[in-house]
Amino acid sequence: MPSQKQTQATRPQVSVVIASASGCAYLAACLEALHRQTGSVCAEIIVADCVGAAVTAFVRQRYPAVRLIEFTQRTSIGELRRAAILAAQGDLILITEDHCIPAQDWLAAHLQAHRTHPRAVIGGAVENGAAARRVDRAVYLCEYSAFAAPGAMGQGMTAQEGAAPARGLAASNVSYRRADLLAAWAVPAQGYWETFLHPQLEAQGLRFLFDPAIVVRHKKHYTPGGFWRERFHYARWYAGTRRAQMTPVRRLVYLLLSPLLPPLILARLARHLFRIRRHRRDFVRSLPYLLGFTLAWALGECTGYAAGAGDSKLHFS
């Protein structure tokens, strides 16, 4: 269990940042896992919530040491994370999602990884904890399988043996040195969005390392229509945000090419899953869902390049 005792002279070693937008049941499982951590890590947990009274009452009653930042209306994930990051006091900032369940050594593993790699951003694996329903398996493949461990978990891997350079890291399992993060975070008013933050960190000379032995389990349940809408809004927000930085000609090119995205996304996903030799059967069985989700993404990008982001950032979590 992480120590959360602090004095005026002692800052926490790590600050765990959680954006709470999925509901009390999901957050409860995440906090329970964080309070069962092994190792002697002095940690603070910061929850930025926009769900409302149910979460507030639960956290204050069950986890009074958790720092709770309350928003009275629906707020984007990036803005929730921004508020928690700016409130953090730890030398390391670890970010996860309220519907993810960290492994018991999660805090200690991130801390050790940064001791070994002092000029790096450390990301870990995201495994599927919602495997009973086909739609949930399809969501996992669509959203998180790029961050699956390359082999079966626990096959003799230690936290450092698996660390390797990476191009992308999941915002549900990533850690930064606080000084590096704040130095590179040029426009904090826009919120924490790893898609746009990580290139800034890379420009500062930081390495990006993926360690498949640092694990969280994604565990959230969806309906096909609910996730379809999330993918549409995420893609619209992404394209609309990029649109603001593009010339009209470049914007038109991306708009015209967006219908080609579904086969490209599916091909990349299939290549990745067959390369790591995991989830191949789920990929084949989930193809109808995956096709629908990739179509949602293409339509979202098309809308974003044509009309901007709108309020889409409020409609995915």
Is 172 in the same domain as 104?
Answer: yes
Is 192 in the same domain as 228?
Answer: no
Residue 294 lies in a domain: yes
Is 95 in the same domain as 168?
Answer: yes
Which bin fits 146, alpha (ψ -120 to 50), beta or left (φ > 0)? Answer: alpha
Is 71 in the same domain as 206?
Answer: yes
Is 77 in the same domain as 206?
Answer: yes
The CATH code of the domain that includes 24 is: 3.90.550.10
Residue 1 lies in a domain: no
Residue 8 lies in a domain: no
**C-alpha R_g of the chain:** 19
Is 166 in the same domain as 274?
Answer: no
3-state SS class at 199: helix
Which residue is listed with tokens 């209306």? Answer: 73
What confidence score (pLDDT) does residue 189 get?
A: 61
What confidence score (pLDDT) does residue 147 get?
A: 95
pLDDT, tens digit, for every residue of 240-268? 999 999 999 999 999 999 999 999 999 99
What confidence score (pLDDT) does residue 307 get?
A: 96
pTM for this entry: 0.91
- Surface-to-core class of residue 174, CB atoms within 10 Å of its CB (0-12 exposed, 13-18 middle, 19+ buried): buried
State the residue range of the domain holding 52.
14-218
Residues (pLDDT < 50) of the chain are: 1, 4-9, 153-160, 187
d(CA 214, CA 201): 21
d(CA 177, CA 261): 35
Residue 45 lies in a domain: yes
Q: Select from 158, 191, 218 the last residue of a domain.
A: 218
What confidence score (pLDDT) does residue 93 get?
A: 97
What confidence score (pLDDT) does residue 6 get?
A: 47
- Surface-to-core class of residue 28, CB atoms within 10 Å of its CB (0-12 exposed, 13-18 middle, 19+ buried): middle
What confidence score (pLDDT) does residue 11 get?
A: 86
Total structural domains in the chain?
2
- Distant-in-sequence contacts of 281-288, Cβ < 8 A, 24+ apart: 282/137, 282/138, 282/141, 283/141, 285/134, 285/137, 286/134, 286/137, 286/138, 286/141
Is 228 in the same domain as 208?
Answer: no
Are the C-beta atoms of residues 169 and 198 closer than 8 Å to each other? yes
